[in-house]
Structure 1
Amino acid sequence: MFMQNTLTRLMRLPLISIALIQGWALGGGAEFTTACDFRLMTKESNIRFVHKEIGIVPSWGGATRLVEIIGSRQALKVLTGALKLDSQKALNLRMVEEVLQSSDETQCLEEAKEWLKQFIDGPPEVIRALKKSVTAGKELCFEEALQVERDLLGTLWGGPANIEAIARRGKYCK
């Protein structure tokens, strides 16, 4: 229960999270990757939910999140087959967003940071609000998620990021 709660809290953090897979992500490691918003891996890396092989099921929320990431049929194949997902299979299943070119630990980390920039470039309060909005859309009923969106807009409308963005846009709209 502890790891289930921990990974759920990670998933709900109001920031963008990324799992950088270098080498093997087995069992609990595979489950951990599902709690992150994005997954990147090196060419030589593998993901494998080995739970069946040791007579258990994922219990950290990995199966539930895997269904959300790749769909129920593919998740069933991955889990019941204890399939080894190399980088190409993981990419084809949309388990990972990208396969990094470098395998060098330092270069790989820099490549991942560069990839992540496109999603975190902007006012932090806006990025946090967008993450909260997506999380609400995943976890809440439709009407409640809409209310979260309205509430979040209320915290940003007329704020510094909004005013600065409108001022910048005005220059380009003429």
Structure 2
Amino acid sequence: MMLELEQRVRELETWTEGKAVIVQGAAGTFCSGSDLNAVRAIANPHDGMKMCEFMQNTLTRLLRLPLISVALVEGRALGGGAELTTACDFRLMTSDGVIQFVHKHMGLVPGWGGAARLVRIVGSQNALKLLSGAKKVDPDFGKQMGLVDEVLHCSSGEGNALAHAEQWLSPFIKGPAPVIQAVKRVVVSGRELPLDEALQTERSVFGTVWGGPANLEALALKPKHK
């Protein structure tokens, strides 16, 4: 799964016409964590650190894609699966979805960047509760603390969660791909860079769309903002 995920991220990094990506599991489960047999095979510090570095890099690149990313949580997102949800811009859950950082039960802490991202999403107090308590996050609890952006009115077994997610996402990706990607780039820079560097990036990105096709078309239409 790790190698396949990195390959998909690499492909998305070259998707110049894209606007968004929805990360979805299979068979009613988002991601139930690592295969224990595979984990036992690399249960030493050297191999563990190599895996940690590989997945931190992969998930950081996923989050920095110039695409709006959505984690569609159907069923369980446990351990590494919970960390994967934090590498997306938005998290949507079906009515039976569960996110749980079970690392403590395995004698571990998140190693794929999940803890650092979780703090930025829900704050340090809530992150500490979720990690130290290995608390199960259901849709209502997740939305209450800000981890979940929307609860979809369907369950993992109904087979229509993706359609619901696409409908939820549609207002955010309405418009030309270069503009949507530019929006994502300025948000990423504002989130990750010191203010002066973020402002410089914003100026640079602004220069790529000012006077561009979408801008000129909008000016020609003389839109009335609602």
TM-score bracket for the superposition, by shorter chain length? over 0.9
Deviation at 1:102, TM superposition (A): 1.2
Show the counterpart of 2:218. Answer: 165
Matches of 1:20 and 1:73, distance apart in 2:
25
Structure 1 63/108 Cα, relative in aligned 2: closer, same or farther at 3 Å? same
1:116 is matched with: 169
TM-score by length of 1: 0.96
The aligned residue for residue 139 of structure 2 is 87
Pairwise CA RMSD: 1.1
Cα displacement string for residues 26-82 of structure 1 (whole angstroms, at most 9, x for unaligned residues)? 000000000000000011110000001110000000000000000010000110000
Q: 1:105 to 1:152 in 2, by over 3 A?
A: farther
Equivalent position of 2:182 in the other structure: 129
2: CA distance between counterparts of 1:74 and 1:27?
Answer: 17
Match of 2:205 in 1: 152
Partner residue, 1:107: 160
Q: 42, 46, 68: which one pairs with 2:120?
A: 68
Aligned to 1:57: 109
Deviation at 1:133, TM superposition (A): 0.3
1:17 matched to 2:69? The reply is yes
User: Is the helix fraction higher in 1 or 2?
Assistant: 1
Amino acid at match of 1:99: V
Matched residues, number: 172
User: Which of structure 1's runs of 4+ aligned residues deviate more than 4 A?
Assistant: none
How has the CA–CA distance of structure 1 residues 171 and 137 changed in structure 2, closer, same or farther, with 3 Å as cutoff?
Answer: closer
1:39 maps to which of 91, 107, 114: 91
Amino acid at match of 1:147: Q
Query: What amino acid sits opposite 2:98 in the alignment?
Result: N
Whole-Å separation in 1 of the counterparts to 2:183 and 2:167: 20
| Structure 1 unaligned spans of 5+ | none
TM-score for the superposition, normalised by structure 2: 0.74
Percent same amino acid among aligned pairs?
Answer: 58
Q: Which sits farther off after the overlay, 100-109 or 110-119?
A: 100-109
**Structure 2: stretches of 5+ with no match in the other structure:** 1-52
Amino acid of the residue matched to residue 67 of structure 1?
V
Q: What's the offset of the Cα at 1:172?
A: 3.8
Q: Compute the displacement of 1:165 (Å).
A: 1.1
CA distance in 2, matches of 1:128, 1:164: 18
Q: Which amino acid aligns with 2:195?
A: F
**2:204 and 2:224 mapped to 1: Cα distance?**
29
